[in-house]
A and B are shown apart, each in its own frame.
Chain A
Amino acid sequence: MSIRLLALIPVAAAISLALSAAVDAVALPLFLDTTGTILATALAGPAVGIATGVVTSAVNTLRNPTFWPFVVVQVIVALYAWGAARAGLFRSFRTAVPVGLALGVIAAVTSTPISYLVFGCTTTGGIALTTALGKALGLSPLGACFFGSFVSDFGDKAVTFALVTSVLHALPRRTAARFPWALRAIGVA
């Protein structure tokens, strides 16, 4: 791995972790904790993306221990973003946002078993409450848990994909050219 890609990983992981501050400032119920992973994959490929996801989870765990079991989700997000980058799906919002919504579903499907088995669906307050709502609506426990994860993941991943698309397009061509996958991800190369 080249030294530039090695330098990218901690920056991308820190982006994920620092965006929580930005999210609080606009009072939106988002996490954006996969932003760095998706961005790193779109810039430099799946190996860098997976490494970013693992590092993000590890450092996030120091702040909140309950994040560690969800490292699986980060890895799956990286693989998904790899597919999206290969297909140049970051070329516009019209392609990126639906792809992000689909990821929201996949992320929810992946995190539900973890949330259910490890945390009894109480991963966060928000998820716990939406799960309770789901149960009240008559869903099965697993279904209610999925409902809880889905509601938070759906919008979060779509916004993340849109944000990464904005970033990729805002990069000057010269800078983007220095990252192996960047131009391909926006459908230019």
Chain B
Amino acid sequence: MTRLHPFTLLTIAGALPALAWILPAPSGGLAMATLALGLTASRGLRPGLWPAVLTAAPFWLFLLLLHDVPTTIAIGLRITTMVASFVWLVAALEPARLVEAMVAAGWSASVAYLFAATLTAVPMLKARAQRIAEAQRCRGLSPRGGIASRLRALRALALPLVLSALHEVDERALALETRGLRPGIRRTTLAPPHDPVVERTARWVLLLACPAALIWRLL
């Protein structure tokens, strides 16, 4: 499954929830949800199916609270499809392969950079947020007290985090520039993912199936 082309993985993860919404409930949703859950299960029960079920379960609970049973089933199946598709996508998609696929397909290197760099920046900023929170706790800042003191505590946490991150933007820009990342460059792809005709056709079929299903439902 991981050897599929990254665009194929993205297409499947996008088409299944879309079809779950377009096709008539509850059978359409049930079919798509089964497919999506099947995909997650293909990665193993513990790492794949269980997280999908755990993430989807609360929605069913709240749906039951707010709606009658048929509506709950209809919406619940759609949400389950969406959750399961993305859980599978996150597990199956390798960011490095996606970057190579985007560059090989002629996408601007800048676009690939935006997503990849955010992925790598988030854990770093989160770790820094933890450190700032710990430092502030040592200074006596605690999440107790009224709204005003909590907001002040939030400011004491968020401000250093954001300011230090903004200060780094300059350095990042300098580093990117010196490494040759400029708008409009033609980057060499070192390991473009294999993209057999079968997969390309399957992607188009899936992509066209969505508006086709929509038209069929409207008629």
A98 within 8 A of B: no
Q: Is the CB of A28 within 8 A of B150?
A: yes
Q: Is the CB of B110 within 8 A of A11?
A: no
**Which one of A1, A64, A131, A135 contacts B110 once the chains associate, using CB atoms below 8 Å?**
A1
A110 within 8 A of B: no
The segment from B79-87, B189-197, B207-215 that touches chain A is B79-87
Q: Is the CB of A18 within 8 A of B129?
A: yes
Q: Is the CB of A132 within 8 A of B65?
A: yes
Q: Is the CB of B110 within 8 A of A6?
A: yes
Closest Cβ–Cβ distance, residue A68 to chain B (whole Å) = 8
B159 within 8 A of A: yes
Nearest CB in chain B to that of A67: its residue = B86
Q: Please tell me the number of chain A residues within 8 Å of chain B, measured between CB atoms.
A: 58
Q: Which residues of A contact B114 (CB under 8 A)?
A: 6, 9-10, 51, 55
B143 within 8 A of A: yes
Q: Which of B108-144 contact A (CB under 8 A)?
A: 110, 113-115, 117-119, 121-122, 124-126, 128-130, 132-133, 143
Q: Which residues of B contact A15 (CB under 8 A)?
A: 125, 161-162, 165
Q: Which residues of A contact B75 (CB under 8 A)?
A: 119-120, 122
The DSSP consensus for interface residues of chain B is helix
Interface size range of chain B in the complex = 35 or more
B183 within 8 A of A: yes
Q: With A1-B183, A3-B176, A25-B133 known to touch, is A170 a contact of B159 (CB < 8 Å)?
A: yes
Q: Is the CB of B172 within 8 A of A11?
A: yes
The segment from B41-49, B55-63, B99-107 that touches chain A is B55-63
Q: Is the CB of A120 within 8 A of B169?
A: no
Q: Which residues of A contact B87 (CB under 8 A)?
A: 65
Cα A14 to Cα B78 in complex, Å, equals 29
Closest Cβ–Cβ distance, residue B7 to chain A (whole Å) = 15
Q: Mark A104-129, 1 if CB is under 8 A from B, else 0.
A: 00000000000000111110010011
Q: Which residues of A contact B62 (CB under 8 A)?
A: 122, 125, 128-129
> Besides the contacts A6-B113, A13-B118, A125-B62, what 9 more A-B pairs have beta carbons closer than 8 Å?
A3-B176, A3-B183, A7-B173, A11-B169, A17-B118, A28-B147, A39-B162, A62-B90, A125-B58
Q: Mark A85-118, 1 if CB is under 8 A from B, else 0.
A: 0000000000000000000000000000000001
B94 within 8 A of A: no
**Which one of B63, B166, B170 contacts A167 once the chains associate, using CB atoms below 8 Å?**
B166
Q: Which of A38-61 contact B (CB under 8 A)?
A: 39, 43, 51, 55-56, 58-59, 61
Q: Is the CB of A3 within 8 A of B181?
A: yes
Q: Is the CB of B115 within 8 A of A55?
A: yes
Cα A3 to Cα B51 in complex, Å, equals 39
Q: Is the CB of B163 within 8 A of A171?
A: yes
